Homo-oligomer: A and B are copies of this chain.
Amino acid sequence: MTDRWVLDQSAIPSAWFNIAPSLPEPLKPPLHPATGEPAGPEDLAPLFPMALIEQEMTPQEWIDIPGEVLDVLRIWRPTPLVRATRLEAALGTPAKIFFKDESVSPAGSHKPNTAVPQAFYNKAEGIPRLSTETGAGQWGSALSFAGSQYDLEVQVYMVAVSYKQKPYRRVLMETWGGSVVPSPSDLTDVGKAVLAENPDHPGSLGLAISEAIEDAVKREDTHYSLGSVLNHVILHQTVIGLEAKDQLRLAGIESPDVVIGACGGGSNLGGISLPFAKDRIEGADVRLLAVEPESCPTLTQGRYEYDFGDVAGMTPKLEMYTLGHDFVPPPIHAGGLRYHGDSPIISNLVKNGLMEAVAYPQGKVFEAAVQFARTEGLVPAPETSHAVRAAIDEALDAKEKGEERVILFNYSGHGLLDLSAYDDYLNGRLSD
């Protein structure tokens, strides 16, 4: 019996899928942070190359992937689709659990799917240097890898407390040639001001974003790069769901019953679910499920309104679910899910009843992660483990109801650089 579907490099999708033109309620434009007026391409030009600004706003459904991008994506794509037969057996469920294994990328997560085209488009428009922020380090790793492929300098502002606690992530970025400083840093005015107040400031994602944006705005040679939330980022991630559709067909599945992804800013969830969202909008019987931490319950408890993307209010305002841009989530292990807002596309789908959301405490999440590791062999990232938890609960619900439910979830990243979280869980040091 086959339980793992691999595809040749020729099966990488040749275009990204844009859900925007299919949304029943159209997306509203971003608003300029100062004027409150709709922000146009010229407002975004200091930060992003024109190709990405166009993708952010395009009404086109399909966007061709440049050959130079495909050349790098095929280092690890197509990624495998796996049926979790060992987990199914352990659960005694009639459900079929499939996962899309995005952990096989060089950086160990789905993040390079967008880091690579972002680096490419900047390089193509003559930009030799990118600035970005990173919390847990996944995004900074992905962009450093992408920078090495196109010979771009990458400057990463890494939240100071992570910089100290996760030295391996820093070294990984440096191995690919990235420059990493703890944020707050003395490279920016905002960083200097914070350090003057408190030289031991632990940093925050909002502050690191502000530093990375200041860096890009002040330097002609530098653009800013973001790893989630924005439309063009989610767009680049749709290769995940497009490949999964082809692979499910090989497995004899016309349509899954539920598609699941962990949700922080929304990029891995959007990547796997948006190609199915179109089917759903057209009446197909497929549920889409966002999984978030109880400690940062943006979709399940946030307000739907315009808000800033960062703490300092330097970004355009986006219409989305938000806990307020000054919300400070507790320091849970799934650092990638600690974001006050959410992708406008994901928010739009939830608001319009096309996507469900559920929140879990981290103890139940790690319980699922360990069960997955001991059956399927793979050790999931803390973020990914939220999707694992939800997939297991769907499978148990299907067992109770005697349903052969087909569950698809995004295995967005491995946990090999997050093992201290497992140490805490296994030794009873984890709090919810």
Name 24 A/B residue pairs within 8 A (Cβ), A-sorted. A2-B9, A2-B10, A3-B9, A4-B75, A6-B6, A104-B104, A106-B378, A106-B379, A108-B416, A145-B377, A148-B374, A148-B375, A148-B377, A167-B423, A168-B416, A168-B420, A171-B419, A171-B420, A172-B416, A174-B423, A175-B374, A175-B379, A176-B373, A176-B374
Distance in Å from the Cβ of A105 to the closest Cβ of chain B? Answer: 8
Contact of A177 with B374 at beta-carbon distance under 8 Å, contacts A106-B379, A423-B167 already known: yes
- A168 and B379 CA atoms in complex are apart in Å by 12
- 0/1 interface trace, chain A 355-374, chain B, CB 8 Å (1 if under): 00000000000000010011
Name the one of B2, B148, B168 contacting A419, with C-beta atoms under 8 angstroms: B168
A417 contacts partner chain B, Cβ-Cβ < 8 Å: yes
A8 contacts partner chain B, Cβ-Cβ < 8 Å: yes
Interface residues of A in 1-23 (CB under 8 A from B): 2-4, 6-10
A45 contacts partner chain B, Cβ-Cβ < 8 Å: no
A426 touches B174 (CB 8 A): yes
Distance in Å from the Cβ of A160 to the closest Cβ of chain B? Answer: 18
A75 touches B171 (CB 8 A): no
Distance in Å from the Cβ of A124 to the closest Cβ of chain B? Answer: 18
Residues of B contacting A60 with CB < 8 Å?
Answer: none
Distance in Å from the Cβ of A18 to the closest Cβ of chain B? Answer: 27
CB-based closest 5 A-B pairs: A106-B377, A171-B419, A168-B419, A6-B6, A171-B423
Residues of B contacting A352 with CB < 8 Å?
Answer: none
Residues of B contacting A9 with CB < 8 Å?
Answer: 2-4
A149 contacts partner chain B, Cβ-Cβ < 8 Å: yes
A74 contacts partner chain B, Cβ-Cβ < 8 Å: yes
- A6 and B422 CA atoms in complex are apart in Å by 32
Most B Cβ at <10 Å: residue of A86, A104, A171, A419? A171
B2 touches A171 (CB 8 A): no
A257 contacts partner chain B, Cβ-Cβ < 8 Å: no
A294 contacts partner chain B, Cβ-Cβ < 8 Å: no
- A416 and B375 CA atoms in complex are apart in Å by 22
A376 contacts partner chain B, Cβ-Cβ < 8 Å: yes
Residues of B contacting A422 with CB < 8 Å?
Answer: 171-172, 174-175
Interface residues of A in 93-143 (CB under 8 A from B): 104, 106, 108
B4 touches A74 (CB 8 A): yes
Residues of B contacting A375 with CB < 8 Å?
Answer: 148
Residues of B contacting A176 with CB < 8 Å?
Answer: 373-374
